[in-house]
Amino acid sequence: MIWIVSLLLGLIFLGFFLQGYFSLKLAIEQRINNELVQKKALAETMAEIIHFPIDFNTLKSRLDELKQMPSMENLVYFRVIKPSGDIFSSTINQEIGKRVQNFQMPEETIIDDATFQGDEIKNITARSSLHDAAVQIGFSVQNIASSEQDIIRFLISDMLFFFLLAVCFIVLFKIIIKPIEELTGLCNKMSKGQLITKPIESEIQEVNELTVAFNKMVNDLKMQKGEIEKVNENLEKKVKERTEELENLTAKLEEKVANRTKELQEKIEELEKFQNLAVGRELKMMELKKEIEKIKRQKDIGIGI
């Protein structure tokens, strides 16, 4: 059971992590899109109000003020570019007077990815309505898309949450699940004929009461088992005694049957002897009768002569 619960906790943790991770990624993309919309609107607005001739110092002062605004903390540069590609003014002094390579005046606002001093940035270019100037804003999205730090913070908070959940599970396992598993094991042993009692302590009163009731039931079963064993012993003893009596009675009956059989055999032999004597006597009687008749015939014949 503990493995099933641990697996469920792991799946819940994974689900929370994936949901938080993708939500965080979506939030970062939304923040970047909002920043792009804001910077695009700024570039287009500035492009509409900047027209040559422009006072360089005034424009430079305005750009420096713009750079100090809180919403421009991720600003890399703000440039005003002539149609030739020369940088007329910039928040980076070293760029002023230089030319942007392969610059072409855009027909509409362009947003593209660029690289500045080895860092990836977003570059927005908007032209004025008179086509005499272009405003180019470059800003970094690394602070906005600091996904690693956000993910680490999310992981830490998520791990703390699941650590507390694991602690709660361990406490729950110790005071509820483990005693119930021990009782289940004792029940399985009892089903196999092993009557074992065990003191199971828990901080939950109901579990303790269940343990006491279980141990009492086991003790009662032990007593009943002892009584049944005694009854079985008495029955076996009585069966043994009755068996011995029956064996003795059978032996006596066999002895009587043998004696009666012997007596009958003797009488049969006497009857056979008597029969033999009677048959011999009848034969002698018949012979005597024949001799008497023969004598009578001979006598009758002598008288006639």
How many other CB atoms are found less than 10 A from the CB of residue 103? 17
SS (H, E, C) 116-162: ECCEEEEEEEEECCCCCCEEEEEEECCCCCCHHHHHHHHHHHHHHHH
Q: What is the mean pLDDT of residues 264-269?
A: 84
| Residue closest to 112 by CA, chosen among 34, 31, 40, 50 | 40
Tokens of 74: 């991720």
The answer on pLDDT for 2 being more than 80 is no
Q: What is the mean pLDDT of residues 258-279?
A: 82
Distance of CA 180 to the CA centre of its chain: 17
Q: Is 234 helix (H, G, I), strand (E, B) or coil?
A: helix
The answer on pLDDT for 55 being more than 70 is no
pLDDT tens by residue, 83-116: 888 888 888 888 888 888 888 888 888 888 888 8
Whether the ω angle into residue 199 lies within 30 degrees of 0, i.e. cis, is no
pLDDT in the model for residue 185? 64
The answer on pLDDT for 256 being more than 80 is yes
pLDDT in the model for residue 38? 83
Alpha-carbon distance 238 to 232, whole Å? Answer: 10
Residue type, 11: L
- Partnered with residue 148 across adjacent β-strands are none
Domain architecture of the chain: domains with CATH: 2-145 (3.30.450.20)
Torsion over CA: 220, 226, 230, 235 (sign): positive
Tell if the pTM clears 0.75, that is, is over it: no
Helical ranges in the chain per DSSP H: 2-49, 56-68, 147-172, 178-191, 205-304
pLDDT tens by residue, 56-66: 777 777 777 77
pLDDT above 70 as % of the chain: 70
156-160, 163-167, 282-286, range with greatest mean pLDDT: 282-286
| Residue closest to 136 by CA, chosen among 144, 146, 127, 125 | 125
The answer on pLDDT for 176 being more than 70 is no
How many other CB atoms are found less than 10 A from the CB of residue 98? 13
The answer on pLDDT for 81 being more than 70 is yes
| DSSP state for residue 93 in the 8-state scheme | G
Q: What is the mean pLDDT of residues 193-204?
A: 61
